[in-house]
Structure 1
Amino acid sequence: MTRLLPLAFLSLLCLHAAAQTIRVSTPAVLAAADSPAITIEGLPPHARVALVAERVVIERGAPVRYRAGADFVAGADGIVDLGRDAPVAGSYRGADVRGLFWSMVPIAGAAAATEAGVARMTATVDGKPVASRDLRFDQDDPQVQVEPVAAFPGAVFARPRTAGRRPVVIALGGSEGGARSARELAMRLAAHGFAAVGLPYYSPAAPGRTERELPALPASFVEIPVDRLNQVRDWLAARDDVDDGRIALYGVSKGAEFALVAASRLTWLSAVVAIVPSDVVWQGWGQDAGATGAGRSSFSFGGKPLPFVPNLGFQQELEGFRTGAPVRYRRPMEKGRAAFPQAALAARIRVEDFEGPMLVAGGGDDQMWDSGAMAQNIAERRLEAGRPTVSLVFPDGGHMLNGTGWEPTTQYDAGVFKLGGTPEGNARAQAEVWREALAFLHRALAADANAALAARR
């Protein structure tokens, strides 16, 4: 999770006698703000100013220095407004307040003087620095309390510190497994007024290693029990600080597949958000997945495996990690779906059976699986059934749509493993998906909306 602390109170360093400043005007959580403003003020009219942003990102436990830069021409008022003004040169094009952040690339050399989680912006005119500002990113919102959930390995419960019975969102991460994705998503949701459960359900060993983060969870993505969510609901019902009559699922990638299967079978859910989803259940993987050519399902319900679509040529695709050829998981999945149409029909998730509202978001250039087309399939089936649905499909978006648009997006396709989309397309999609998902959840989990849904049931 990435959050910018309230910036109105951060110190500002002006390096020239003239009153050039970098000013940030934003709500407390910049990463989720609809219209933050970042301006450089006090410049000579029509002056050319170079703006550089730099930060340290922790990758695989080590600090990596990232940087982006762009040149602007100040207006007659001596102001450059990142949300209004397009750069005349630099790492991104077009007016975009997030542009300097998502367009960062790793650079060689020692880590910058700033600590991890701090972005330093420096403005330069005629080769001389005129203003600098540190923007602090932080993982922890002091207004959110987080506690472990002993009943579910690796799970956390997050909620605002203010009193009141809150609607609940259960966050489900993807095929990366472990606790981090679900935990960070739960904390982000809690910062916006929801109670949230970050629920890990799968914990593989890292490549080349045997130890696992959560040994109590499955090591293979095989027949994950969807109806385990009933136990989560029972746990929530025993609490007096949540409204267990207003529960939504927020799933990403395989977590979206999980969420849609659950929505098609569990009548107590109020709403679903499915980011880069699948419209079918796919073959599982791992040491418990079965012999080559047979395979086992990713998910189960009531102790029985669900019908699934087999992959075709997955091992050949993985050869790219050895040879350096591009690895696109989408290809063996599309080959399997094309080769086994009857299996695809049997594995289709009956999204139209869910009566509540649903939001789906997919990328047209997703190289993990074709989430854009599958999101469209889901929306069409639900609209045909008269079910309330929000569909967001981004032609230049890839698989990494679960963000806020402030993190660097330039490295998603840098190695042999491809996730798809353009850096700009992914960043803009992330910002829109997060904004729309929050608005959707606030509408869908409002007390009057759930009363109407209960009446229909």
Structure 2
Amino acid sequence: MGAADPRGQLPRPRPGAAAALGAPAGGQPSAAGIGGGLRTAAGRTQRRQRGPQPWCAGVAPPRSAHAAGSGRDGGGPGAGVGLGAGLRVARRRRFVASAVDSSSCARPQGERLGAWGIDTPGCLPMHIRQAARLLAGTALLSSLWAHAQTLEVTPGATVLAGDPVHLQVAGATPGARLTLRAERVMNGWSGPGRFQAEAVFVADAQGRIDPDVQAPASGSYQGVDARGLFWSMHPVPPAAPQALASGEVVLELLDGERRLARQSVTLLPKAADVTVSEPAAFPGARFALPGGKTRHPALIVLGGSEGGSAAARRLAPLLASHGFAVLGLPYYSPAGWGPQGPTPPELPALPASFVDIELSRLEQARDWLARQPDVDASRIGLYGVSKGAEFALAAASRMPWVKAVAAIVPSDVVWEGWGPAAPGADQRSSFAWRGKALPWVPYEGFMREFANATHGRPVVLRRPMEAGRAAHPERAAAARIEVEKIAAPVLLVGGGDDQMWDSAGMARAIAARRAAAGLATTALIYPEAGHGLADHGWNPTTTYKDSFFSLGGRPDVDARAQADAWPRLLAFLRESLH
């Protein structure tokens, strides 16, 4: 903090403006002290109001010992130091003072009070010197108060996950290097953990820091990125004890390790009017329904090869918050792996192997949705991720009732299945239609690639897939998904550096075949992105590299691709289904 002007008064809020110290998001005042900042309810720092010029209150030397207690002030100038309410020493005010001589002064040559430039004459009564010190201290308090840094989060203390969050610092000393730190508790690859990011910014000429338009000087990310502090979080050692709510992100403004301001924002998993239930007809499923009395268009959400209910739990409530009745539908639940070794499947009623998964399961889901009074069954779309995108495209090519398909990191063919229950080689397809296995592309060198894990190297599934496709072109042709039979509009999202499979190349192939058939298709290809594109750009992407499988991409590229694709996805679904 730079040198402050000792002449300033404590700021006076404008009439009708509710001033608060360190007001958190939401506008409620708190007793945060000087560091919290002086703000009005509208969120603006009050301008410091300049008061009268300070002067040194003095006493003329007594004309005699007899007259010492009755003299005037010597006729000196008399504008006092401003104290908010206007404390002054009158120009001609009389006061009674004791007779003094130089031997009674603590500093016969005068006293300079700190760095504030207030000089006292060399011979003052003690109570006058104490009053001068008090006034100087008040000037210091006023200056600190007027220059306090504030951290503002908009639109408020809560926001739907995926919607923009804006941070802004005001009141900093121009040129000051201050740190913004973000922290949250969330699930990583190895379970719940503490995630943190920070970036050092240089305050501009107006004392502002705004990550929407400013790049950090150093920190967890580079370049101008409003989401940088969110996606660049990385796991850090746990701190004692955690008190953060689910989705809560704590934001701090720091000068070194000294905290200047603190705010928090909670990224909500769903809108307040969305209700979530668990249909008994489908193990692990989630049915999320928006509020309102209208009948809503519907989506069926299909996760990827991770299996279980994770995709249903995360995506169904979030997509429902944008106006869709969403059925998150698990269809596969493999055994897991924990610190002590293998763990049982989350959903034992579902297949534990990715073999001959029945496409007709979606017909059952459609029939169930048609029985729901708040669902318009004439407007049902499919949303699939990875193997779920393969599922969605293969099903939609056989089910004319599908009105839209969103395929995130998709495949254009059906691939070989896997798992402990896989039967003989002639039946190991990933999917089946009404009891008959679909043609599939075999892998080449699958187990050889998995051997990399024993040497501490990531498994790159793209290699055995591309090798199998190159070695068996006739089987690849037979396994091709007939996307030209999907009358509904299709959205494709692919990553050029996807190391699970070539989602960008396969998305282009799908788009080309549909374009030749004159069908509505949107392909979003991100050349440097990886496999992790089924998110909105506000969650950490730094842990993708910690997966057992190589996903490709980079944290910054993946986050920016997600942030670009997410609103386009929502717009596509609204246009196709509303």
TM-score w.r.t. length of structure 2 = 0.72
Counterpart Cα distance in 2 of 1:10 and 1:60: 38
Name 1:360's counterpart in structure 2.
Answer: 492
Name 2:260's counterpart in structure 1.
Answer: 130
SS in structure 1 of the partner of residue 448 of structure 2: helix
Counterpart Cα distance in 2 of 1:338 and 1:204: 29
**Aligned partner of 2:388 among 252, 255, 259:** 255
Name 2:524's counterpart in structure 1.
Answer: 392
Name 1:373's counterpart in structure 2.
Answer: 505
Counterpart Cα distance in 2 of 1:26 and 1:386: 43
Amino acid at match of 1:234: D
Q: CA deviation at 1:37?
A: 2.0
Counterpart Cα distance in 2 of 1:7 and 1:259: 42
Superposition map of 1:65-84 within 5 A: 65-84=194-213
CA RMSD after TM alignment: 2.2
Amino acid at match of 2:353: S
Q: CA deviation at 1:26?
A: 2.9
Counterpart Cα distance in 2 of 1:189 and 1:375: 23
Larger radius of gyration: 2
Q: CA deviation at 1:260?
A: 0.4
Cα pair distance change 1:407/1:269, threshold 3 Å:
same
Name 1:271's counterpart in structure 2.
Answer: 404
SS in structure 2 of the partner of residue 319 of structure 1: helix
Q: CA deviation at 1:361?
A: 0.1
Amino acid at match of 1:431: A
Q: CA deviation at 1:109?
A: 4.5
Alignment deviations for residues 183-229 of structure 1 (CA, whole Å, 9 cap, x no partner): 21111101111110000001111134352221111111111111221
Name 1:288's counterpart in structure 2.
Answer: 421
Name 2:149's counterpart in structure 1.
Answer: 20
Cα pair distance change 1:126/1:330, threshold 3 Å:
closer
Superposition map of 1:57-96 within 5 A: 57-59=186-188, 62-96=191-225
Name 1:184's counterpart in structure 2.
Answer: 314
Name 2:181's counterpart in structure 1.
Answer: 52
Q: CA deviation at 1:32?
A: 2.3
Name 1:454's counterpart in structure 2.
Answer: none
Name 2:332's counterpart in structure 1.
Answer: 202
Q: Any unmatched runs of 5+ in structure 1?
A: 1-5, 447-457
Asked if the contact 1:122/1:132 (under 8 Å) is kept, the reply is yes
Alignment deviations for residues 358-378 of structure 1 (CA, whole Å, 9 cap, x no partner): 100011111111111111111
The range that moved more, 9-18 or 39-48, is 9-18
Amino acid at match of 2:363: N
Name 1:147's counterpart in structure 2.
Answer: 277
Counterpart Cα distance in 2 of 1:442 and 1:327: 38
Between the two proteins, the alignment pairs up a number of residues equal to 439
Name 2:563's counterpart in structure 1.
Answer: 431
Amino acid at match of 1:108: P
SS in structure 2 of the partner of residue 290 of structure 1: coil
TM-score w.r.t. length of structure 1 = 0.91
Amino acid at match of 1:423: P
Asked if the contact 1:309/1:337 (under 8 Å) is kept, the reply is yes
The percentage of aligned residue pairs carrying the same residue is 51
Runs of 4+ in 1 over 6 A off after TM superposition: 9-12
Alignment deviations for residues 328-373 of structure 1 (CA, whole Å, 9 cap, x no partner): 1111111111111101000011111111111000111111111111
Q: CA deviation at 1:426?
A: 0.7
Counterpart Cα distance in 2 of 1:42 and 1:156: 47
Q: CA deviation at 1:46?
A: 3.2
SS in structure 1 of the partner of residue 323 of structure 2: coil
**Aligned partner of 2:464 among 322, 325, 332:** 332
Cα pair distance change 1:10/1:297, threshold 3 Å:
farther
Alignment deviations for residues 245-276 of structure 1 (CA, whole Å, 9 cap, x no partner): 00000000100000000111100010000001
Cα pair distance change 1:54/1:331, threshold 3 Å:
same
Name 1:301's counterpart in structure 2.
Answer: 433
The range that moved more, 146-155 or 409-418, is 409-418
Name 1:231's counterpart in structure 2.
Answer: 364
Name 1:242's counterpart in structure 2.
Answer: 375
Cα pair distance change 1:275/1:150, threshold 3 Å:
same
Q: CA deviation at 1:168?
A: 0.3
Cα pair distance change 1:112/1:420, threshold 3 Å:
farther
Counterpart Cα distance in 2 of 1:246 and 1:240: 14
Counterpart Cα distance in 2 of 1:11 and 1:173: 44
